[in-house]
Amino acid sequence: MTTKPKFAMYWAASCGGCEIAVLNTHEKILDVDANFDVVFWPVAMDAKYHDVEAMEDGSILLTLFNGGIRNDENEHIAKLLRQKSKILVAFGSCACEGCIPGLANLSPVGDIVHTAFNTITTDNPNEIYPRTSYDVPEGELHIPTLSRMVRPLEQVVDVDYFMPGCPPESHQIAAVIDLVIKVVKGEAELPPKGSVIGCGDSTVCDECPRARNVKFIKEFKRIQDVAPVDPTLCLLEQGIPCNGPATRSGCNARCPQAGAQCIGCYGPAEGVMDYGARLITAFSSVIDANTPEEIDHILDGIPDPTGQVYRFNLAGSLLKANREVWKVKG
């Protein structure tokens, strides 16, 4: 029997990028193995849910939970891992705020299934849809039932820490791993419960080297329609909707440094209650127009305002989902 503290990592409604980001810590992953007993990590090793169910409550020291809660299987495992873990971390944007899968909250679940199984790209003349249970000679088979909306982990269980990013930057993951190992050895203390870890407490703009002047714009443009993009000037001031002003720092302004606009994957900056609202304020502040007609004309340059300001944060926002989604009976 090993006496090392136990570690688990799980993926719910996510893409797997968070797991790749953990592997991207390179040799740091060996520190995880040296200091922890990895008991459950579906993407990396074989383990069954009943193995987790058999564990003692609170016996896993650290669980990194990535992915949002999209179906009843996700919800079951979230509750199970909460029960079995001392420290539960919402790891990555999906678990923190819904992320890209959270944009599905713009459509009722029936529409999502229909789009996936019966559209121009999926020929389905016999209207065959997946069923959640099916009788076969060997018994009854079940697949998970979709919930009516994607929920961040915090809306389902109590969460100890939040680690944002899509995915979290590997140097940030390495720093958090180092910290937890120090805590295990008694050399450091954990941050207060509920802290957002592995990131900064300011905005992407604060880390962005581009020059900001007080400038107003007459037109919003998609970045591919701007030629050439000035490599040193603030993107928002070039009319490119850049989500930096509302987004938490921690990535070293990676996208703006590479010539692309920030899309907001690190979630709301410290103190921001609603990410989209903050971004509405930021975009409005650069518009150079005072009449409703002219302002509206400039706003036409943002073709999908809801998707633009809630690209990563819709499920974690104040309104959480489209009104039609709320109306769906579970």
Which residues here bind another protein, judged by CB under 8 A?
A: 69, 72, 75, 106, 145, 147-149, 151, 155-156, 273-274, 276-278, 280-281, 283-285, 287, 289-290, 292, 295-296, 299, 302, 304-307, 309-310, 315, 317-324, 326, 329-330
Give which of 78, 95, 82, 70 is closest to 17, Cα–Cα: 95
Is residue 217 within 8 Å of residue 287, measured between CB atoms? yes
Radius of gyration of the chain from its Cα atoms, rounded to whole angstroms = 22
Q: Which is nearer to another protein, 209 or 303 (CB)?
A: 303
Minimum Å distance from CB 326 to another protein?
3
Q: Which is nearer to another protein, 186 or 292 (CB)?
A: 292
Alpha helices, DSSP H, located in 211-274 = 254-257
Q: Which is nearer to another protein, 41 or 283 (CB)?
A: 283
Q: Which is nearer to another protein, 14 or 147 (CB)?
A: 147
Give which of 250, 172, 169 is closest to 208, Cα–Cα: 250
Give which of 293, 32, 13 is closest to 147, Cα–Cα: 13
Give which of 241, 243, 237, 245 is closest to 206, Cα–Cα: 245
Minimum Å distance from CB 168 to another protein?
24
Quote the CA–CA distance of 67 and 179 in Å, as a whole number.
23
Minimum Å distance from CB 78 to another protein?
10
Minimum Å distance from CB 189 to another protein?
33
Q: Which is nearer to another protein, 33 or 304 (CB)?
A: 304
Minimum Å distance from CB 265 to another protein?
19
